[in-house]
């Protein structure tokens, strides 16, 4: 008994929804970055599922580009978090106005 692609797409939709709700509800920047990573992993699961169903390697190669973007997002995001944390001792999304000019 094999698992069909609908189950993988359903799991990806649930993961993306959890990540989107986390970004919208939480105010901690680190938790928001983790939720964005969850959303990117849901997109990766979708790409791999369609790649497997269609028998094309293009979706799997696109996953590597998404992983590179996710790594760059983490580097830039953590740099911003460190810059905020040096000025204030908290890392909430409301403190981003500190970085203005």
pLDDT score for 9? 96
Domains in the chain: boundaries:
5-99
Q: Tens digits of per-residue pLDDT, 2-17? A: 899 999 999 999 999 9
Q: Tens digits of per-residue pLDDT, 85-98? A: 787 777 677 666 66
Name the nearest CA neighbour of 20 among 42, 51, 2: 42
- Domain 5-99, CATH class in plain words: mainly alpha
Name the DSSP class of 92.
B
Q: What is the pTM of this model?
A: 0.83
Q: Which helix (H) or strand (E) holds 74?
A: helix 58-87
């Amino acid at each position: 008994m094999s698992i069909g692609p609908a189950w993988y797409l359903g799991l990806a939709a649930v993961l993306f929804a959890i990540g989107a709700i986390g970004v919208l509800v939480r105010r901690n920047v680190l938790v928001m970055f983790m939720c964005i990573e969850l959303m990117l992993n849901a997109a990766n699961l979708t790409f791999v599922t369609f790649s497997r169903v269609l028998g094309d390697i293009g979706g799997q190669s696109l996953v590597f580009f998404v992983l590179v973007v996710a790594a760059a997002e983490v580097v830039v995001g953590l740099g911003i978090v460190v810059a905020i944390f040096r000025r204030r001792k908290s890392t909430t999304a409301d403190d981003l106005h500190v970085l203005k000019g």
